Amino acid sequence: MNTRVLPLRLGVNIDHVATIRNARGGGFPDPVRAAKLAEQAGADGITAHLREDRRHISDEDIERLIDQLTVPLNFEMAATDEMLEIALKHRPHAACLVPEKREERTTEGGLDAASGQNHLKSIVDELMKAGIRVSLFIEPDPVQIDATVALGAPVVELHTGAYCDARQVERRQHLDRIITAAAYSAEVGLECHAGHGLTFDTVGPVAALSEVVELNIGHFIIGEAIFGGLEIAIKRMRALMDKARAESGAAKSV
């Protein structure tokens, strides 16, 4: 009998390199350069969110990422016709549907897949027909997981923001919700990703969950890069993920 640890991918979100660039309206720092560096430092994928108001990533950034990346691009998008058209034009490896409100600072909650919004079904269908792997960014809630299955998307990304923002006791409660949701998503046949707000301090317990196969992390890594460089920040995150994974029950008998 062999024991192996299921691999856990790290998607590095480079949105906030563009936030800094856009603060001065020029060309640097270049998010595509950051993405290439992230690849070299061990990122398994790059995540970028083209927001409707283009506050960070631009249309041109997406074009350049598609041209230059050698790892998969996970295109975060609102479920709108405009974003669908852009995704179908570029055909990224994956698309993650997220809720978007113009006034929010970041993606503050998960997508309400259970609200019966008819347009979600057609957007999921169109993306899947184009060969794009679709995920829904949802709260760690079984109702949303069931709705994801009903919509036909193969992947969920569990929102870890509330867990990361909470203090000790509440944090444990939020972690329990993530643990339950990750197990349930695997039970119903979904691939499970997680992300939002993860840091060196909060990544371990999520990385330890055997059902979670991808983490998407941005803001903290880009912030850390200011102090020690992007490569060091990514390698440290990667090492913490791998350590938590190796020490956990993610070791499966095969």
Active-site annotation, residues: 49, 76, 196
DSSP string, 25-87: TSS-S-HHHHHHHHHHHT-SEEEEE--TT-SSS-HHHHHHHHHH-SSPEEEEEESSHHHHHHH
Between 33 and 55, CB nearer to ligand PXP: 55
Residue 133 tokens read as 């792997």
Q: What is the nearest approach in angstroms of ligand PXP to the Cβ of residue 221?
A: 7
Between 49 and 174, CB nearer to ligand PXP: 49
What's the rounded Cα separation, in Å, for the pair 22 and 33? 15
Between 14 and 208, CB nearer to ligand PXP: 14
Q: By CB under 6 A, tell whether 163 contacts ligand PXP.
A: no
What's the rounded Cα separation, in Å, for the pair 232 and 225? 7
Q: Tell me which of 100, 216, 225, 240 binds ligand PXP, using CB under 6 A.
A: 216
DSSP string, 143-208: HHHHHHHHHT-SEEEEE-HHHHHS-HHHHHHHHHHHHHHHHHHHHTT-EEEEESS--TTTHHHHHT
Q: Tell me which of 12, 32, 98, 237 binds ligand PXP, using CB under 6 A.
A: 98
CA dist 118 → 101, 124, 150, 193 (Å): 19, 10, 12, 24
Between 69 and 96, CB nearer to ligand PXP: 96
Q: By CB under 6 A, tell whether 77 contacts ligand PXP.
A: no
Q: By CB under 6 A, tell whether 137 contacts ligand PXP.
A: yes
Q: Tell me which of 17, 32, 46, 96 binds ligand PXP, using CB under 6 A.
A: 96
Q: What is the nearest approach in angstroms of ligand PXP to the Cβ of residue 3?
A: 30
CA dist 212 → 37, 195, 207 (Å): 25, 10, 7
Q: Tell me which of 31, 45, 140, 195 binds ligand PXP, using CB under 6 A.
A: 195
Q: Tell me which of 197, 205, 243, 251 binds ligand PXP, using CB under 6 A.
A: 197
Q: Tell me which of 220, 233, 238, 250 binds ligand PXP, using CB under 6 A.
A: 220
List CB contacts of 232: < 8 A, sequence separation 6 or more.
224, 225
Task: State the sign of the Cα–Cα–Cα–Cα dihedral 85, 46, 44, 179.
Answer: negative
Q: Tell me which of 61, 100, 139, 157 binds ligand PXP, using CB under 6 A.
A: 157
Which range in 31-39, 83-91, 111-119, 215-223 contacts ligand PXP by CB under 6 A?
215-223
Nearest to 111 by CA among 155, 163, 173: 155
Between 32 and 111, CB nearer to ligand PXP: 111
Q: Residue 166 corresponds to which amino acid? A: A
Q: By CB under 6 A, tell whether 76 contacts ligand PXP.
A: yes
Q: Using CB under 6 A as the criterion, which residues of the chain lie in contact with ligand PXP when the complex forms?
A: 13, 15, 49, 76, 96, 98, 106-107, 137, 157, 195-198, 216-220
